[in-house]
């Protein structure tokens, strides 16, 4: 990803552009998770009839974002950052104010958004972590089998 073998072949060197892209990607995951949390906290109650479609959609969206972030970044932090920031943003907005104002109400839509979103985020983190680990394991297996084939002269 960001590493590249030097001319001696033993010491990997890290390109500054690769590191900058990685840090920028993690920052974008943080911003994306917080925007999902804030937008979802304000728009969760929309739906058709008594079905909270927006709450369901926002819950599924944070789960998907965590799964894709983990797989795309190839690390557990890629899945954890959007979930953690979403939890902080959503539950911070859910806390009642001193004046008694509550943004996320104790309705079916509010419960689906908060609890369903937390559950989907946890599932998304699990999928994101398992996805990059299985891809990493498959890549290691490919490298080992290729090395073994070279040794055997195939």
Encode the chain (154 residues) as per-residue pLDDT tens digits. 444 444 455 555 555 668 888 899 999 999 999 999 999 999 988 888 889 999 999 999 999 999 999 988 888 899 999 999 999 999 888 888 888 777 888 888 899 999 999 999 999 999 988 876 666 666 666 766 776 667 777 6
The three-class DSSP label of residue 5 is: strand
CA neighbor of 116 nearest in space, from 47, 40, 48: 40
Q: What are the residues facing 153 on neighbouring strands? A: none
Whole-structure pTM over 0.95, yes or no?
A: no
Which residues, including other chains, have CB under 8 Å from residue 73's CB and lie 6 or more apart? 22, 25, 26, 29, 79, 132
Q: Where do the structural domains in the chain lie, given as residue ranges?
A: 19-94+101-152
Name residues whose C-beta falls within 8 Å of residue 140's C-beta, 6 or more positions apart in sequence: none
Q: Which residue has the tokens 């891809």?
A: 135
């Amino acid at each position: 990803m960001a590493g590249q073998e030097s001319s001696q072949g033993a010491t990997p060197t890290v390109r500054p552009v690769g590191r900058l892209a990685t840090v920028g990607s993690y920052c974008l995951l943080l911003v994306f998770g917080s925007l999902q949390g804030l937008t979802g906290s304000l728009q969760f109650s929309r739906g058709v009839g008594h079905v909270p479609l927006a709450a369901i959609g926002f819950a599924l969206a944070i789960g998907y974002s965590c799964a894709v972030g983990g797989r795309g970044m190839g690390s557990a932090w890629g899945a954890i950052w959007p979930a953690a920031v979403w939890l902080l943003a959503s539950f911070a907005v859910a806390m009642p104010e001193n004046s008694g104002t509550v943004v996320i109400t104790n309705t079916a839509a509010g419960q689906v958004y908060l609890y369903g979103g937390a559950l989907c985020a946890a599932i998304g983190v699990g999928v994101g972590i398992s996805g990059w680990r299985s891809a990493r394991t498959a890549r290691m297996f490919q490298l080992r089998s290729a090395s073994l084939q070279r040794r055997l002269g195939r």
